[in-house]
Amino acid sequence: MKTLVIVAHPSLETSVINKRWVEALRKYPEKYTVHELYKVYPDGNINAEKEQQLIESHSNLVLQFPFYWFNCPPLLKRWLDDVFTYGWAYGSNGGDKLKNRKAALAVSAGINEEDYSEEGRYRYTLEHLLSPFETTFLYCNADYRSFFAFYGAENEPSVSELEKSTQDYLNFVDNL
């Protein structure tokens, strides 16, 4: 089965990194389904049942988003709240739909990697700051596979940096 990539970027058309990743994924429709939340739900009203069915029809799940204000965009948070419900994602009465499903994150971080360290400007690693997502997947008994990150997006990456990041991202998703 294919990998479902949930893309949550409020202005993907102006993005450098996330847009490039989406374009690369779309070259392989037999392997990936790209699902853009802000395009599908511009009004923010999420059809949870439809989203749950979409997840169930895929073997792997990747949440792709820009990391800003040390979190995900608000629509992705709402999506998680609406879709990962009791009785579906966790709990009794069939709450096992994410059990053993491979799940991962793909984030673009505007800040440089060295700033995400105990000695850095923000005193926390990106791994630490993303731990609520990992904990969510673990709570739902998913097979969390870590995250892929592009650091320094605010610094206008070079073409070679973009190409390397895109290839590394595709390799990451392929090896879930």
What lies within 8 Å, CB to CB, of 45 at 6+ separation is none
Q: How sure is the predictor about 66, in pLDDT bands with cuts at 50, 70 and 90?
A: very high
Other CB atoms within 10 Å distance of the CB of residue 44: 12
H helices, E strands: number in the chain? 7, 5
Structural element, H or E, at residue 20: helix 17-26
Closest CA to 78 of 100, 91, 63, 90: 63
- Read off the pLDDT of residues 140-151 as tens digits, 9 standing for 90 and up: 999 999 999 999
> pLDDT (tens digit, 9 = 90+) per residue, 99-110?
999 999 999 998
| Phi-psi region at 152: left, alpha or beta (left = phi > 0; alpha = psi -120 to 50) | left
Question: What's the predicted TM-score (pTM) here?
Answer: 0.96
For 9-45, what is each residue's pLDDT tens digit?
999 999 999 999 999 999 999 999 999 999 999 999 9
Q: pLDDT tens digits, residue range 81-139? A: 999 999 999 998 889 999 999 999 999 998 889 999 999 999 999 999 999 999 999 99
